[in-house]
Each structure stands twice: as C-alpha cells, then as structure tokens.
Amino acid sequence: MPTDEQLKELVKQKYSEIVLQNKEDNAASCCGSGGCSTEVYNIMTDDYTNMEGYTEDADLSLGCGLPTKFAKIKKGDIVIDLGSGAGNDAFIARAETGEGGKVIGIDFTPAMIARARENAEKLHYNNVEFRQGDIENIPVSANTADVIVSNCVLNLVPNKNNVIKDIFRVLKPGGHFSISDIVLQGNLPPKIQEAAEMYAGCVSGAIQKQVYLELIETNGFKNITLQKEKQIIVPDDILSKYLTAEEITTFKNSGAGIYSVTVYAEKPMTATACCAPGCCNE
C-alpha cells in the first residue's frame, strides 16, 4: 500500500504531465488521467465558457463542477482557490471579487504554478497570485479568506481531514467555502479503487459521500449545503480497462455510483471547533 507521500508524488508527477497535454485529451478523460475514452468527450467537467473571467488558456478541463458559480463571492472579497491548476477558477473568482479584491491560487505542482503565473501575466492581473504548496498545510495565514473554492482536488489528497481542518483555519470567522469534488455512494470494485491511473483520475481517491459531509461537520462548519449533485457515468471502454464484462455488469447492478457534488459550508462567527490547543493560530 503506497504511503501518503508516495500518493502525493504520483499526483504531482501525473499533473506535471497533464499541463503539457492539450485540452481535448484532458476533457475526454477522467480529470486528465489520459485519453482513455472514445465513447464520450467529457466525463466530469461542466461548461465554463459563458462565465465572466473564463480564460481558455487556463482551462485544462480538469474540474468536476462550477464552484465559483455557487460561491457567493462579493466585490472586495479575498478568495483562495485550492488546487488552482492553470488558473481558470482563480480568474473567474477575480471577475467576481473585482479589482478591489484578491485571489490566491494554491497548487502542489510547480508546472501548474508556472502556467498559471504566465496566464496571469498575459492578462495583466495584479490582484491574482499563485503559491506553490500542499493544501493539507495551506501557505496562507489564519483568518485570511472570505471565500475558499476548489474544483475536483480534495479527492486527490490522501488525508482529506487535514485539508478541511486547514480550510477552517484559513477562513475568516463568518467566511465560507464552495467546493466541487468527487464522492462515492456504495462500494466501487477493488480493481478501480487500487488502480493508480484511476487515482490520479479522481475516482479511487474519492471517499463515501456521507463520510465527506461528516468530515466537514466534525471540523466545525455550519450551514452545510449540497449545492449541486450529478452522477458520473463512466463509459464501458474505460471500465473495461479495469474490469471484465461480467464485473462491469455486476458493478452496474450494484447500486454503487460516482458523483460530482458541490458543497457549501460556513465557518461560524464565533469559531470554537478547532480540535486541539493552538491549531487555529498562525
């Protein structure tokens, strides 16, 4: 069984390769895991193209929702985008917060950070910055952000509780997040769960929907709301790489499923659920 650090290195390596792929290859796959399907063009992603701030050069088609659409960003807000990739969600957030606000993108992969900074330079945005870092330990001071967004990233992180805990630390009291992610209902076949390619493609790193929501509640968030949910139908030509025909039929009849969800939650104005002495300090 790979360690957490080994899984992180796998993701970093995979997404370093993805940044060099064209958009069509990414969109036709499972969050960029490779050109693995001829049956569909787009498995996970939603259409960004009509949203203000959309930047084609920054759209790698790696998301599984539209968190910025649901994030209730106001003019002047400080927004943090976790797993910012080439910058698309950050630039859309910038359109919402305006020139008086600030957007900070955080990404684990140096190649993604370089691409995002290049895009920001071309757009002449002086209130959008990108920082390399692990979202289990967000490189931002406590009580900084009004809003946090993230698009199909937490599922790639081995210790999701650490990420949610750090989101709580970084948000201002009264701040909130809107996060799109992949979750499961029921049990996926072990062959899919264990496949490294599917891990980097958003599926086998996902956890049960109920566990996901419980982690958010346990870390002190309130007003937890499921803003959007859709089932992800994985085509047979992808499943056949991991399962026999009989196993595919059994899986389809099992009631198990893969879902894209967008979850909203708020940090209370009087935040006390911090789990350990000193954990909310900078």
Q: Are 250 and 198 in contact (CB under 8 A)?
A: no
DSSP character string of 155-200:
GG-S-HHHHHHHHHHHEEEEEEEEEEEEEEESPPPHHHHH-HHHHH
Mean pLDDT of 10-19: 68
Ordered structural domains, the chain, with CATH: 4-266 (3.40.50.150)
Q: Is residue 185's pLDDT more than 60?
A: yes
Mean pLDDT of 99-109: 96
Question: Considering the chain, what is the average pLDDT of its residues?
Answer: 83
pLDDT tens column, 129-153: 999 999 999 999 999 999 999 998 9
pLDDT tens column, 205-255: 889 999 999 999 999 999 999 999 998 877 787 778 888 899 889 888 888
Confidence bin at 22 (pLDDT 50/70/90) = low
Place of tokens 């684990």: 108
pLDDT higher at 49 or 100: 100
Share of the chain above pLDDT 90, in %: 50
Confidence bin at 36 (pLDDT 50/70/90) = very low
Q: Are 125 and 98 in contact (CB under 8 A)?
A: no
pLDDT tens column, 54-97: 787 777 767 888 999 999 999 999 999 999 999 999 999 999 99
